Structure 1
Amino acid sequence: MSGMLINLIIQIIAGAVGGNVAAGAAKNIDLGTIGNTIAGAIGGGAGGQLLGMLIPLLANSASAPDIGSIIGQAAGSGVAGAVLTAIVGAIKNRAAA
């Protein structure tokens, strides 16, 4: 598998986890399990790609097995997934009110 595909898989999984953790921590942004996972995965994938462009060391972490860059990429993608889930949850709750 190419390094770029492995990076994307790491980003999507970390984003999905981050989205579910954020929704679990703040019940007012909860979109349901599937909604949290989808929003988090999209946020993790997009945020991870953006992070890879801003910090070139994280761009090819799968091709050069450096555990620090893989952890940094997963952490950044998890945060991006949590942020997007929080934004979508806030918009959904605002529209429902």
Structure 2
Amino acid sequence: MGIIAWLVFGALAGWVASMIAGTNERQGCLLNIIVGIVGAFIGGFLYSLVTGRDFVAGFDITSFIVAVVGAVILLFVLTGVRRRR
């Protein structure tokens, strides 16, 4: 995928994850993109661990779900870290 596609994909995944995690009010578009892209890496890594197969990302529904799941995990971890401080 090109860089623009990654940014759009990350923004969508981060936005959906922030709505699920309840952090949408505190995040802007840039943070949604970052959370979505990092979440895609986390989700792909976890997918590989669970299934034993390498995850090949594309612009499809499976990649989107994996990215959203990874982003939700990232947001819950970050929220937990912030609450401890």
* TM-score for both structures, normalised by structure 2: 0.55
* Contact kept in structure 2, 1:47 and 1:80, CA below 8 Å: yes
Looking at structure 2, the residues matched to 14 and 79 of structure 1 have their Cα atoms a distance apart, in angstroms, of 14
More RCO (CA 8 Å, sep 6+): 1
Q: What's 1:19 paired with?
A: 14
Q: Runs of 4 or more off by more than 6 Å in structure 1? A: 9-12
Matched letter for residue 76 of structure 2: A
Larger Cα Rg: Structure 1 or Structure 2? Answer: 1
* Contact kept in structure 2, 1:23 and 1:85, CA below 8 Å: yes
Equivalent position SS for 1:59: coil
Whether 1:59 aligns to 2:55 is yes
* TM-score for both structures, normalised by structure 1: 0.51
Deviation digits for residues 23-65 of structure 1 (CA, Å, limit 9, x no counterpart) = 33414x8652233432332121232244246353x73465xxx
Structure 1 runs not aligned, ≥5 long? 1-5
